[in-house]
Structure 1
Amino acid sequence: MISFSKQNGKLSVFYNQLKILEHSEICPLVTLKEGKESVDMYRGNYFIEDETLSTLSLGSYLLSESYSEGRGVSTLTFSAQGLAFSIELSEREGRLHLCFSSLPKPYNRLVLRLFATEDEYVWGCGEQFSHFNLRGKNFPLWTQEQGVGRNKQTEITQIADRLDRAGGDYHTTFYPQPTFVSSRRYFVHADTYGYANFDFSLPTCHQLEFWDVPATLTLSVKPSLLEVVQDISLLLGRQQILPPWVYDGIILGMQGGTSTCLKKLEVMQSSCVKVAGLWIQDWEGERYTSFGKRLRWNWQWDDELYPGLDTEIVRLKQQGVRVLGYINPYVLADHPLYEEALRLDLLGKRCDGSVYLVDFGEFDAAIVDFTKAEAVAWYKRVITDELIGFGLCGWMADFGEYLPTDVVLANQRPAMLEHNAWPGYWAKVNKDAIQESGKSDEILFFMRAGSQQSLASCQMMWAGDQNVDWSEDDGLPSVITSALSLAMSGMGLHHSDIGGYTTLYGMKRSKELLIRWAEQAAFTALMRTHEGNRPKDNWQFDSDQETIAAIKRMTDIHVYLKPYLMHLVAQNAQQGRPVIRPLFLHYEQERFFGVKDSYLLGRDLLVAPVLEEGSNSVVVTLPDDVWVHLFTKVEYQGGTHCIDAPLLCPAVFYRKESDFASLFASLQ
């Protein structure tokens, strides 16, 4: 129910008795801006500035109400200097919807202020790596490279900025989403793909700036935070269940040719490691740049690097080992798929009509124009023929965040409005190609870039290109923060590269880091390794027998939990309950609102990974319940405890009253 209150010169708007908007002449609800942006993109890193040319605060207001076809609509009209802007408020399907009029010229920026309290917590905005609680900072929402280091105070970030403009910041992300959840038990979602900036730093309001007026701003109030999160995915979409084989072992990332991969598999299988799949990212060929090993972006089997792979795929599948590959939404210039797309006129263009070639770091590639139906159909055929037809049971659907803002697209919409939408288009291309092949229950794809469309279209997210280190903003700890923030945005399936990826500026993956990362990954929906961009610099899953044994132990645990994991993934698909959950979704207490170093795996497992180099213990606050250590079987009551966590014995607890208690208790 929508209600209004006028008191002390302020207009307050309530929905289901919760105050959501407040307007006064001193602090108006609506401000209009005229802005002129400048956008500079360098290899997926965006540098965006906005010059404010004029500002107009709309201090006066008029409230009117009308009813038609049984539906009540309240209209707030704000005005100043002869210009007006209107907001229509209505209730549909148990949610409040705000619809906006067009911006009066010359204004092209809309600033809305939602009511806030000083003690409020905020989560979401897609995938955030540095901060889980977003209160106190502003978050530009723009898909791009996450950046190296992602903290301007760290040496790694400063080096990356100085040498390659690639350092990133606390807010840079592959997966922005204009959705946030408040500890006051509501969510807000803005139906827009334009650039936006959500500022949660002000004490009495959340200031949302849009460069494209949202089609709708949706707000939902629920009795609990868990129900709020469930309602996000009910609105935007839910991920499907995963193919059953993904729980049967680890997916090993490897490359270098048929013989090399088969030898690595033999080494792991001889040590009884359960292997569900081989993720061979260079199945289409390789190329080398100063960054390290890169891939040949022509999505066809390289039979010189991988002779006989077509028959090996069949043989391995009979053994229960699937082969996965790699693809992204671009085609390498002067290669067969590029030439075919060029001939069929399926590529993004420059203003002069020439093909738009994007610099991806010492090589160029073209954009398949997903706003053109013929291009979508063609790329789905590429996936169907070259990947599925070849026998791959899955792939990394990489990139999606590089769309230049000056590319000319077939639908004639400005690329500034298509940029954030692009990862969702790319996800849908993959999903539809798999569905149309009739193999939705067999094939897995995973992505790093995302948008709100990803909830309905992307099967599985992965955290992207973490540093091979322990840093809070870009190392092992950041994958937990990212999983939790996505969970609060409605995306319930997430995993990461075991051991991280980015190996630059002296960073090298250590044995300890790889094993600790594997410990955490065992308690997610999917275990998958990555060699990193410079494999020879990194400790690998087969670097010594002790590491192989560690991988085996954590994989065995992951496989043992298959019934529980399948239950959680089904819950996510059917009810919108994320697999990895913040503690407060089941224990709604303020002491857990900022926790980002531990999480619930479903309702019944609490995971507190070791996130510091050299540490053999963790301090964890357990909610009020009886918890049993998964490995030592020692019982703990709620409260703060220092838990021993030597290698291969992570601090994981199960709820004694769990329906799965017998499964957990029998783990040896």
Structure 2
Amino acid sequence: MGDTIRRWALSAVGTAVTGSLALGGAASVDLLGVPTDHLAVMSPSGLSVDPGAVGVHPLGAHSVVVEDGAVRVVDGEQIVWSNAPGAAFLSAGTGHVSWEEHRGYFWADVNHDQQWTAQQLTGVEAAPGSVTLTGDLVSADGAVPFTVSFTERADGGVAADVDTGATSAGGDDPVLQWTGGRSVGAGVHGFGEQFDDFNLDGRLVPVVAREQGVGRGEQPLTLLADVTNGGAGGTTSMTYAAWPSYVTGDLQGVRVDPDDEAAHAFAVGDTRAPDRVGLEVWAPSMRLELTRGDTPAHLIATQQGSVERPRLADWTQQGAIVGIQGGTDTVRETVDRLEASGTEVAGVWLQDWTGQRTTDFGDRLWWTWQLDKQRYPGWEQLVGELHDRGIRTTTYVNPWLVDAGPKDDPGIRNLWAEARDAGLLVRAPDGSPYMVDQGGYSAALVDFTNPAGRDWMSTVIAEEVLANGVDGFMADFGEALPMDAVLHEGDATLMHNAWPRLWSEVVREGCEKAGRPDCVTWFRAGTSGMHSQSPAFWNGDQMVGWSEEDGLASALAGTFAAGVSGWPVVHSDIGGYTSVNLQLTDYVRDEELLARWGEYAAFGPMFRSHEGNRPAVNRQVYDPEEIDAFARNSRIFAALAPYRAEVLDEAARTGVPAIRHMWLTHPGTAAAGADDQFMLGGSLLVAPVMAPGQTEVTVSLPPGTWRHLITGQVYQGDSTITVAAPIGSPAAFIDTAHPLADQLVADVGAAARGAG
């Protein structure tokens, strides 16, 4: 990301002690005092069906089939959804979720009070356009009624409106659990951008937007981060972008309707049982969408529906968007050096346009959202010169505001003071502006539940951020609304997961106010429904390393999950972002990592570099030792533009992701199980090097005939091969049946060799 809320105490730590302890009214902690999630879900009991409810109940092109112990929604002979054999598909309860928070990290402690987990289906009412199931949910303490009303979706599948008689009592909150069946062992994919195995089988998956952590299980990094900074190490289930949506290997999908309030409630996915998936949502009712597809790609397109998705501007496809900081002269000199090296430069990303400050964590920004004219004198001339050279300028903004007084710049507005005086800031429980520690300074959020706050912030984006020729920006943060905040409207615990979407809507309104509907924005925090607001997303803050937990390999894992969950265009910071010196180890980039990350990004939808949080001690793409590799990778990216145009067009039209897990394109083949390679679109296969010192890769080729884009060598598919992959010759293959195959081999090969 462009900035961070982390602060570090640098100290060595002893041996880890394992184990956890549940605390009443707080998250669990391990025995070192580090917070952890304490997750619990209801366990559904049996389903009983009254004889009068048994039958086939037509629903347009679908039918709801009710049998003894079984309910199915079918489309002809195809099952769209069914319960697990004999098990209740709906449970209800009451309880509460307590939260512990520290600088954007949130830990849940889930407690159930009452639970109604046995289900009695007593009636079916068929009406034009709907089939409604009624009955009771039962426990030893009594019963509550339920209704489930099925209607057909315009985009395919059915919607299920779910309600029960479980209501808040004694301060507790209502919770629902929907449990669907799956074939034993069928994969489960999605739940937002999960930086974990593509198949999430065997897990409890918390659905909450939050800081993802530093290390996320990579040791000793995570342990050191945890004990020096209050749990900042994170876990593999922590992500900026989670929402209640999944698909299975049975080609069935379930998601909470993005426009339903329950879509943003805290939820937990339960994939521990091999024949079912539970989705527990802390809401009194919910509207589910149940879908199926003929193929995995068809399933994703059906689930995502025919919504209008913004498209990436054409200029982003012509080369690198280079992250540079340091002021006007530094930008000019760096761009000149890059172009002289043969780099295709499409844009610059100047995150420090608003000024830079230094903290314990590294180089930070002034969140005042106005141009720092001392750092960037002659801004308009610089932007104009770059534009004349075919290079666009992008910047940075987030939803936080800091007091501009300490910056001592009389030429700018104090936006924080303006918003405070107008009553537009999120409030603390005592009614004052909620000032959140950012590690060296504090900041407040604009209240987006207040229409006046939305209008004010979108105007700031239009008149300040998008002023003077800027073509786009990173729209950072969005995941850190405090759970105890006081809002203009709504409960913060229910609005927390909605905040990324509110932020994306404000950003889109700002672009429209500025007359820039083509404004290029990219977000890291996410929730359901954001795909209609922004053309692109990014993976957030990976470490400047290789690990599957929090390095280069994790970026691919997050992209896979985000893609099947509804984010079709996802990229990462080339080289990662987070660099820390933890005494035992100084985590910095090396030359090999930058080259390999660049090769990976060259086959993605955007090619953008980041200097990281400690630019001075990390290698940069424009350094003499790195610049040739970066130039080569930028040329490969540019050479792929004609092919990528059709991929991005499909992503915008259908929601099928640009970067695809092999299961999406070649289900039922040996290649479908490969988690370490991917498809760009339907015809270009990439097996990136994601481990240090590796000079060859093993590739599982799907059926067909495949041609290496760099060497031109032809391979027969439905086979496993090992190919050389030295730096400069990434293992990438085009299906020879694609009409652009010959052109791509010629152009990408020339780009890699520096010819043409």
- TM-score tier, shorter chain, comes to over 0.9
Quick one: distance in 2 between partners of 1:420 and 1:103?
25
Map Cα deviations across residues 203-243 of structure 1 (whole Å, 9 max, x no partner). 121111111145301101221111111122216x4532211
> In the alignment, is residue 96 of structure 1 matched against residue 158 of structure 2?
yes
Q: Which residue of 1 aligns with 2:495?
A: 418
Q: Which residue of 2 aligns with 1:465?
A: 541
One-letter code aligned to 2:189? W
Map Cα deviations across residues 352-407 of structure 1 (whole Å, 9 max, x no partner). 32111112222111111111111111111111111222321111100000011111
Change (3 A) 1:158 1:637: same
Q: Which residue of 2 aligns with 1:227?
A: 298
* Residue 51 (structure 1) shift: 2.3
Q: Which residue of 2 aligns with 1:35?
A: 95
Q: Which residue of 1 aligns with 2:57?
A: none
Quick one: distance in 2 between partners of 1:465 and 1:578?
21
Q: Which residue of 2 aligns with 1:161?
A: 226
User: Do the aligned residues in 1 keep the contact of 2:192 with 2:561 (CA within 8 Å)?
Assistant: yes
Quick one: distance in 2 between partners of 1:490 and 1:663?
31
Map Cα deviations across residues 441-471 of structure 1 (whole Å, 9 max, x no partner). 3x31111111112111122101100001110
Q: Which residue of 2 aligns with 1:15?
A: 74
Quick one: distance in 2 between partners of 1:115 and 1:20?
7
> In the TM superposition, what are the counterparts of 1:428-447 in structure 2 within 5 Å?
428-441=505-518, 443-447=519-523
- Percent identity, aligned pairs only, is 33
SS of residue paired to 1:37? strand
* Residue 103 (structure 1) shift: 4.0
Quick one: distance in 1 between partners of 2:148 and 2:304?
25
User: Do the aligned residues in 1 keep the contact of 2:176 with 2:285 (CA within 8 Å)?
Assistant: no
One-letter code aligned to 2:506? V
SS of residue paired to 2:605? coil
> In the alignment, is residue 59 of structure 1 matched against residue 119 of structure 2?
yes
User: Do the aligned residues in 2 keep the contact of 1:131 with 1:170 (CA within 8 Å)?
Assistant: no
SS of residue paired to 1:503? coil
* Residue 2 (structure 1) shift: 2.4
* Residue 31 (structure 1) shift: 2.4
> In the TM superposition, what are the counterparts of 1:454-533 in structure 2 within 5 Å?
454-504=530-580, 505=582, 506-533=586-613
User: Do the aligned residues in 1 keep the contact of 2:639 with 2:744 (CA within 8 Å)?
Assistant: no
Quick one: distance in 2 between partners of 1:34 and 1:100?
16
Q: Which residue of 2 aligns with 1:338?
A: 416
* Residue 612 (structure 1) shift: 0.7
User: Do the aligned residues in 1 keep the contact of 2:663 with 2:673 (CA within 8 Å)?
Assistant: no
One-letter code aligned to 2:636? I
One-letter code aligned to 2:177? V
Q: Which residue of 2 aligns with 1:48?
A: 108
* Residue 347 (structure 1) shift: 0.8
Change (3 A) 1:431 1:438: same
Map Cα deviations across residues 521-546 of structure 1 (whole Å, 9 max, x no partner). 110111111111111221111222x4
Change (3 A) 1:74 1:330: same
Q: Judge which range, 463-472 or 125-134, deviates more.
A: 125-134
One-letter code aligned to 2:508? K
Find the partner of 1:406 among 477, 484, 498: 484
Map Cα deviations across residues 314-350 of structure 1 (whole Å, 9 max, x no partner). 1211111112111001111355010111122111112
Quick one: distance in 2 between partners of 1:228 and 1:104?
33
Structure 2's unaligned 5+ residue stretches are: 1-61, 258-262, 406-413, 751-756
Find the partner of 1:108 among 174, 178, 190: 174
Quick one: distance in 1 between partners of 2:527 and 2:476?
14
One-letter code aligned to 1:12? V
* Residue 38 (structure 1) shift: 1.4
SS of residue paired to 1:140? strand
User: Do the aligned residues in 1 keep the contact of 2:120 with 2:137 (CA within 8 Å)?
Assistant: yes
Map Cα deviations across residues 101-145 of structure 1 (whole Å, 9 max, x no partner). 244234612122211222201111111112211112121000011
> In the alignment, is residue 283 of structure 1 matched against residue 353 of structure 2?
yes
User: Do the aligned residues in 2 keep the contact of 1:15 with 1:96 (CA within 8 Å)?
Assistant: no
One-letter code aligned to 1:61? L
Q: Judge which range, 444-453 or 581-590, deviates more.
A: 581-590
Equivalenced residue count is 658
* Residue 23 (structure 1) shift: 6.9
Quick one: distance in 2 between partners of 1:431 and 1:604?
33
User: Do the aligned residues in 1 keep the contact of 2:81 with 2:291 (CA within 8 Å)?
Assistant: no
User: Do the aligned residues in 1 keep the contact of 2:164 with 2:285 (CA within 8 Å)?
Assistant: no
* Residue 197 (structure 1) shift: 0.3
Quick one: distance in 1 between partners of 2:729 and 2:63?
52
Quick one: distance in 1 between partners of 2:649 and 2:694?
35
User: Do the aligned residues in 1 keep the contact of 2:564 with 2:656 (CA within 8 Å)?
Assistant: no
Change (3 A) 1:82 1:248: closer
One-letter code aligned to 2:70? L
SS of residue paired to 1:126? coil
> In the TM superposition, what are the counterparts of 1:380-391 in structure 2 within 5 Å?
380-391=458-469
> In the alignment, is residue 198 of structure 1 matched against residue 269 of structure 2?
yes
Quick one: distance in 2 between partners of 1:173 and 1:205?
24
Structure 2-normalised TM-score?
Answer: 0.85
Change (3 A) 1:82 1:656: closer
User: Do the aligned residues in 2 keep the contact of 1:257 with 1:305 (CA within 8 Å)?
Assistant: yes
Find the partner of 1:620 among 677, 680, 699: 699
Q: Which residue of 1 aligns with 2:339?
A: 269
User: Do the aligned residues in 2 keep the contact of 1:405 with 1:416 (CA within 8 Å)?
Assistant: yes
Q: Which residue of 2 aligns with 1:85?
A: 146
User: Do the aligned residues in 2 keep the contact of 1:484 with 1:581 (CA within 8 Å)?
Assistant: yes
> In the alignment, is residue 149 of structure 1 matched against residue 226 of structure 2?
no
Q: Which residue of 2 aligns with 1:581?
A: 660
* Residue 590 (structure 1) shift: 5.7
User: Do the aligned residues in 2 keep the contact of 1:30 with 1:78 (CA within 8 Å)?
Assistant: no
Q: Which residue of 2 aligns with 1:552?
A: 631
CA RMSD of aligned residues (A): 1.7
Map Cα deviations across residues 47-97 of structure 1 (whole Å, 9 max, x no partner). 111222232223322131221xx3132213223214222222232323211
Quick one: distance in 2 between partners of 1:497 and 1:143?
20
User: Do the aligned residues in 1 keep the contact of 2:522 with 2:534 (CA within 8 Å)?
Assistant: yes
> In the alignment, is residue 76 of structure 1 matched against residue 134 of structure 2?
yes
* Residue 35 (structure 1) shift: 1.6
Quick one: distance in 2 between partners of 1:594 and 1:272?
38
Q: Which residue of 2 aligns with 1:564?
A: 643
Quick one: distance in 2 between partners of 1:438 and 1:568?
27
User: Do the aligned residues in 2 keep the contact of 1:239 with 1:491 (CA within 8 Å)?
Assistant: no
SS of residue paired to 1:177? coil
Map Cα deviations across residues 461-508 of structure 1 (whole Å, 9 max, x no partner). 011000011101111111111111111112211111000001013111
Q: Which residue of 1 aligns with 2:191?
A: 125
One-letter code aligned to 1:476? L
Q: Which residue of 2 aligns with 1:657?
A: 737
User: Do the aligned residues in 1 keep the contact of 2:94 with 2:166 (CA within 8 Å)?
Assistant: no
> In the alignment, is residue 249 of structure 1 matched against residue 319 of structure 2?
yes
Change (3 A) 1:214 1:510: farther
Quick one: distance in 1 between partners of 2:153 and 2:305?
14
SS of residue paired to 1:382? helix
User: Do the aligned residues in 2 keep the contact of 1:233 with 1:455 (CA within 8 Å)?
Assistant: no
Q: Which residue of 2 aligns with 1:360?
A: 438
> In the alignment, is residue 325 of structure 1 matched against residue 395 of structure 2?
yes
Quick one: distance in 2 between partners of 1:363 and 1:199?
39
Change (3 A) 1:650 1:28: same
Q: Which residue of 2 aligns with 1:373?
A: 451
One-letter code aligned to 1:57? T
SS of residue paired to 1:539? coil
Structure 1's unaligned 5+ residue stretches are: none
Q: Which residue of 2 aligns with 1:240?
A: 310
* Residue 15 (structure 1) shift: 2.4
